[in-house]
Amino acid sequence: METNSRNGLETLPNQASPNKKGSNFNTTIHLMSTFSLEHLVRSPKTTQSKPPLLIMLHGYGSNEEDLFSFAEELPDELLIVSARAPLSLGFGSHAWYTIHFDAATSDKFSDIPEAKEALKKIDIFIDELIAAYEVDQDNIFILGFSQGTILGTAYALNHPNKIQHVVALSGYVNQELLQKPLEKDRFKNLDFFVSHGSVDQVIPVEWARNTAPFLKKLNIDHEYHEYPVGHGVAPQNFHDLHTWVKKRCVK
């Protein structure tokens, strides 16, 4: 596996090459500028009228190419869309919201108003995808890494009518982003795959360990995994999430 230099994410090399969009679902890559968010697309490799949709949300300081680098290794049934965060940090780096650093204390904290605006942008973008593609609206995944996980988790919990499956890599639940009250009966069709590095130097594993009990209280089906890595995705982690996703591609 290759290691991405931006955030330490270990990814699989992308073997696909760009093509123009056809009428069928061949394996292609598109950079779209007519939507509210720039993004890349991998069309399904199997023929089906309404494929499941998987939306990728990258981490702070990265871009849409990061997680997309292992799109070719994900299940053939999926229509995969990797979105670029709206805030440019320069040199190809992007963020969903600002992380403020206090030089005096070395503390860092999230810009919550910006994060909430990012959630609104994601909501608009998902509506655009549903309108543009013939997807199975009852089988939609969000896969996030780090900051993308924080937003993907919050989005799914705020919109359980739109998202059925969440792959939450190296992130945590930020309850400041959740719409209250959290009613258990709204989440009966939602499930989570949660993973974290046990020696994560960016987001402490203790934060991630709070996710499983939080989901359990809401009666949300979930798996929680830890791997002996830092802020990244180990090969075994990818194998496990692939298995989890694959089982949910066919209802």
Tell me how far apart the alpha carbons of residues 107 and 99 are, in angstroms, rounded to a whole number: 10
* Number of independent structural domains in the chain: 1
Tell me how far apart the alpha carbons of residues 49 and 205 are, in angstroms, rounded to a whole number: 41
Per-residue model confidence as pLDDT tens digits over 175-222 = 999 999 999 999 999 999 999 999 999 999 999 999 999 999 999 999
- Residue pair 28/43 in contact (Cβ under 8 Å)? The answer is yes
Closest CA to 67 of 76, 54, 77: 54
What CATH code is carried by the domain that includes residue 243?
3.40.50.1820
- Residue pair 58/95 in contact (Cβ under 8 Å)? The answer is no
Neighbour-count burial for 58-70, b at 16+ CB within 10 Å, e otherwise: bbbbbbbbbbbbb
The answer to whether residue 188 sits within a structural domain is no
The answer to whether residue 228 sits within a structural domain is no
Is the previous residue joined to 181 through a cis bond, with omega within 30 degrees of 0?
Answer: yes
Q: Which domain holds residue 35?
A: 2-163+233-249
- pLDDT band at 3, cuts 50/70/90? very low
Per-residue model confidence as pLDDT tens digits over 51-67 = 999 999 999 999 999 99
DSSP label at 143? E
The answer to whether residue 178 sits within a structural domain is no
Dihedral class, residue 92 (left if φ above 0, else alpha if ψ from -120 to 50, else beta):
left
Q: Is 176 helix (H, G, I), strand (E, B) or coil?
A: helix
